[in-house]
Amino acid sequence: MPRLLILLALSVLAVATARAATLDDAARSEGEVVLYSSLNNEQIVTLVDAFKKKYPAIKPSFYRGTSERVLQRVSTEAKAGRFAVDVVTSAGFQVQLMKESGLTQRFVPAEAASFDDGFKDPDGHWVNVHSLLSSMAYNTQLVKPADAPKKYEDLLAPRWKGRIGVNLLDPEWYVSLQRRWGKDKARGFLKALAAQQPAVRDGHNLTAQLLAAGEFHVVTNTYAHIAARIKAQGGPVQYVFDEPVITYVHPMVLAKGAPHPNAGKLLIGFILSVEGQRMLRDQGRIPAHRDVDPQVFSLRNVKLQASDPRQAKEHGPAAEEMRGIFGAR
């Protein structure tokens, strides 16, 4: 029996190796791969240069833009019958719109096995490349650690009145709270938070910077890595994780009609591999691979709540409702 199991394992390995060799050969014959991405320019260059070094027969090229611009470019090209892109990375909202518009195709790379549920599409169209963790944060010169809020509901205590900063440019946070608590409870929480007379601002970076400057004592929703970066630079800021931590996904997809599909699959596998994820980690991103911890903090024992791109269409109404509740129309 053990011999039979060994033979079976060797057979599976041989098949996997043959498939990999076939993909490599097909990708080399295509000779190039095109990436559209919302990652910053330095991160893209690092990844494509490493990919080219590993696969010198394949020439990578890329377009870099915001998630909105990436979506617009892919959509415009498809409407014109021009299919130029192989791989796309963007925010979950835009990736979901691409999927619903038939601009993506199903591809489940072997590396997807190392990504937790919620961080890959149940239909097999995308896998998360990197994450953004929404967190509270407080000014350590104005708030003692023992007095800091531990849960969102703690912000409703009388002591925080007039001392809170709220980032209104974040409807995904509100949609995620609705998913966690239900719409009625989430709406009630925001109304109670508005009664605390918070300072409302637009932007994750801005609210974190103003927190460090002492404009308010605590913020409800910034990005944890921004707070961690300010802290590492000597700023008086500490992030707070209300678990499960609301986590925004930035997935990667194989484009429908990709002119170099095999090279695209190879690039996706590379970026999602431990090697590719470590490159993103070393440039300050929060990798989605479960075996690659971020530089700024460990997530080994932290529970995450991945946002659901399928709720993307709720972001517009949620944004309007948030601004209405906080009187910022």
Q: Does residue 305 sit within a domain?
A: no
Helices (H), the chain: 2-30, 41-54, 67-79, 92-100, 171-181, 183-194, 204-212, 224-232, 261-272, 274-282, 315-325
Does the predicted model carry a pTM greater than 0.95? no
Residue 167 belongs to a domain with what CATH number?
3.40.190.10
Question: Helix 315-325 vs helix 171-181: angle between axes, to the nearest 10 degrees?
Answer: 100
Q: Is residue 112 part of a domain?
A: yes
pLDDT tens digits for 255-314?
A: 999 999 999 999 999 999 999 999 999 998 999 999 999 988 889 889 999 999 999 889
Report pLDDT for 191: 98
Beta bridge partners of 222: 135
187 and 70 in one domain? Answer: no
Pair 198, 216 in one domain = yes
Are both 28 and 90 inside the same structural domain? yes
Return the pLDDT at 328. Answer: 80
21 in a domain, yes or no? yes
Q: Hey, CA dihedral for 16, 18, 24, 29, is it positive or negative?
A: negative
Considering the domain boundaries, does residue 304 fall inside one? no
Q: How confident is the model at residue 20 (pLDDT cuts 50, 70, 90)?
A: low
Both 111 and 146 in one domain: the answer is no
Q: Tell me what the mean pLDDT of segment 90-111 comes to.
A: 95
User: pLDDT value at position 17?
Assistant: 44
Assess whether 57 and 166 both reside in one domain.
no
* Domain assignment present for 253: yes
pLDDT for the residue 297: 86
pLDDT given at position 16: 45
Same domain? For 184 and 321 the reply is yes
* Owning domain of residue 44: 2-131+249-299
Confidence check: pLDDT of 238 > 50: yes
Same domain, 275 and 147: no
Residue 108, both tokens: 């489940």
Closest CA to 54 of 19, 20, 84, 24: 24
**Interval 140-168: pLDDT, tens:** 999 999 999 999 999 999 999 999 999 99
At 66, the amino acid letter reads T
pLDDT attached to residue 329: 65
pLDDT, position 13: 40
For residue 217, being part of any structural domain is answered with yes
In terms of domains, do 197 and 114 share one?
no
Question: CA 192, CA 162: separation in Å to the nearest integer?
Answer: 13
Same domain, 64 and 94: yes
State how many domains the chain has. Answer: 2
191 lies in the same domain as 316? yes
Residues 15 and 148 in one domain: no
Q: Are residues 258 and 231 in the same domain?
A: no
- pLDDT tens, residue by residue, 178-196: 999 999 999 999 999 999 9
